[in-house]
Structure 1
């Protein structure tokens, strides 16, 4: 598990700036390469592929548990053999450290 995955999310109600691209890029370097920029650099997104619906739904449930325990919630879409997870902090309309912490926790699921 990466050091990033061991950090705790901080409550974010807005009123703080989103990370600038340089700071976000440094955090993104700590994630699996599947995480790509989305929403013109205001979000990160990854696509996960599985062998069947059971594996996909188990993964989705694990991501939901991470979201619940971190109190930081992604956009999730999934089908029979794939799942797309998108993170950004809605309150700041951009990325915060919380997004990268949760993405790192998802990476740890598949390590």
Structure 2
């Protein structure tokens, strides 16, 4: 059964020790078509008009991801923000992707969509 981006965004993160298998990763990627797996991390780049809009987005997602206690790597430049999620606690501490990465990616997408709509 496939999951939607809205269903992912409605979920909450919880402690994870098991990485998702490739089939689950591909299923979740189908719900988040702008994201990709890059170097074992779930990644997306967001574009903006200027530095102010970029920082406003970073501040908005910081609030959301802090509430989930699942923090991504961010690469911030003048008009772009790269976001990469992975879960350090899976695979016996070796890292990988868990459901938390997809939950937070969906929440970040929702923030971006809300910003774009206003």
Question: What are the superposed Cα offsets for residues 24-57 of structure 1, whole Å, 9 maximum, x if unpaired?
Answer: 11111111x3211111xx2110000000011000
Q: Which runs of 4+ in 1 moved over 3 A?
A: none
Which residue of the partner structure matches residue 53 of structure 1? 51
Structure 2: 5+ residue stretches without partners: 114-118
TM-score where L is the length of structure 1: 0.89
Q: Secondary structure at 1:2's aligned position in 2?
A: helix
Structure 1: 5+ residue stretches without partners: none
Say if 2:103 is the partner of 1:105.
no
Which residue of the partner structure matches residue 9 of structure 1? 13
CA RMSD of aligned residues (A): 1.2
Cα distance in 2, alignment partners of residues 90 and 46 from structure 1: 19
Within a 5 Å distance, the mapping from 1:6-85 to structure 2 comes to: 6-12=10-16, 16-31=17-32, 33-39=33-39, 42-85=40-83
Cα distance in 2, alignment partners of residues 23 and 34 from structure 1: 17
